[in-house]
Amino acid sequence: MADYNDISRVDDLYNALMHKNYSEVRRLCLAHPEDLLQKISIYNDTALHMTAHSTKNDLVLDLLKILPAESNPQLSDVKNDDGNTILHEVAASDAMKDAAEELLKRNGHLLTASNNLGEKPIFCAARYGQSQMFEFLAKEMKLEELSPEESKAHLQRKDGTTVLHISIATECFELARFIVIRYPYLAGQRDQLSMTALQYLACNPTAFRRRIIQKQEELIELLCSSNFEEKQGLKQFFIRTYDIFFRDKNRERYELRKLYELVELLVEKDASWNMIEKKEGRNSQESSTTKDEKRNESPLFLATMIGITEIVEAVLKYKPEALKHTNKDGMNILHVAILYRYIDIFDMVVEHKVLARRLLSATDNKKNSVLHMVSQKRKSQASEKIQSPAFQLRNELVLFEKVKSASKNLITNPLNNDNKTAEELFATANEPLHKEGKQWVMETIENCTILSVFIATVAFAAAYTVPGGPDQKTGS
């Protein structure tokens, strides 16, 4: 049973760390160096774990100087509930590089110690996008001297997720680009869901739009909080608006450039196209569950389904042969682009006339041409919910004519498996929308008629009313 004084000391140390009373932390550890490796939190963190969380490099170095030399062998065995050593926590910040170096001098086994997920400390550096720490740990591990298979064991955790997967998942694209260049064999590695790094990126549309969204959110916040009645209020509003849209412009351009370079590198090195093509050829009719849908789709199709034009553009540039792929339903990229209503992707592919000829003439497993696809039920069309039925129908007609114009000389079989032409299918599919549109127009006309009568009545009364009103005495 633990001594009461020991428990009290540990509580004092924990409270000092929680209240960021670092001078008290130093005093307590100097008095009892053995407490440095005691587990003091509910997550079984030691004082060194908790100090590393705070990214206090100097404090960690001071505490390591206090730690007795005979305790160094224990450093690789002291882990919290996540299985993280102190180096795992230190690796989460570039600012802790000196602390990492000192830890490795004391115990080199920390470098290859794994947590509960099978992650080495270098994996934590990748998760948090800490490029300097990642390079430092890679150098210490001498990964350049190892074969791909040997280094892969350090760069991949139990479930198959690599440092490249995790850096893309956490949107640390500059580090991800560095990893692809330094360890190109990771581009083809698959995680437990059999997904490559490019498939990860193709599932993340916000990566390409988040800066625009952030600026819009900042502007909305500014509009909601602005007080134009204050002196100089309007001037301050425009100054703040300028700051939102133009500050750190060079940094944003740099980050976007690195993201686009990452896309091009992954498209060049990704081999998922070939594997997916074999699967499609062997079992194209097999239905997949929702969980399997993403891994069974090529990066091109994933990007098309959520409108990431940058990936589609890179595929057209570096892997144009990927356009011949079809999904489990026999749809090609044009079918999918129309189904999900990403017409800019449709236009991009159609511009490549040589590539587009066969795509425009192709049909899916139900013999639906690209023109038939205009009538298919759309998915994720939330923007249309706020449109009137008449405008929705107009948009559908415009799209139908657009696709018909692009494919009119290339469709070889006008009938699908239900013996319907694209025109017949379009009329049937949009009949409810046509009725709703008619009803909306009639209601709009009725409302406008009532409003016009009201306006005319007011105008007539105003025209025959004497300015100032009648004389109260004479009535004239």
d(CA 223, CA 322): 46
Contact 450, 402 (CB under 8 A): no
Residue 143 is encoded by which pair of tokens? Answer: 């990964």
Percentage of the residues of the chain whose pLDDT score is greater than 90: 50
C-alpha 199: how far from chain center: 11
81 pLDDT more than 90: yes
pLDDT, average across residues 350-374: 89
User: Would you place residue 356 in the very low, low, confident or very high pLDDT band (cuts 50, 70, 90)?
Assistant: confident
Residue 183 has pLDDT above 50, yes or no: yes
Burial 257-284 (b: 16+ CB within 10 A, else e): ebbbebbbbbbebbebbeebbebbeeee
First to last CA, the chain: 108
CB within 8 Å of 470: residues ≥ 6 apart: 476
Q: φ and ψ at 156, to 5 degrees?
A: -135, 140
Query: Using CA atoms, how far apart are residues 445 and 429, in angstroms rounded to an integer?
Result: 26
Phi/psi of residue 237, each to 5°? -60, -45
pLDDT at 425 over 80: yes
Quick one: tokens of 186? 């990771």
Task: Please write the tens of the pLDDT for every residue from 399-416.
Answer: 999 999 998 888 777 898
Among 99-108, 366-375, 453-462, the least confident range: 453-462
Whether 113 shows a pLDDT value over 50: the answer reads yes
Q: pLDDT category, 472, cuts 50, 70, 90?
A: low
Tokens of 321: 């042969």
Half-sphere exposure of 219 (CA within 13 A, CB side): 13
Measure CA 161 to chain center: 17
- Longest CA–CA span in the chain (Å) reads 115
The residues with which 162 forms a beta bridge, in sequence order, are 156
Nearest to 283 by CA among 329, 336, 333: 329
Kindly report the pTM of this predicted structure: 0.78
Average pLDDT over all residues of the chain: 82
- One-letter identity of residue 17: L
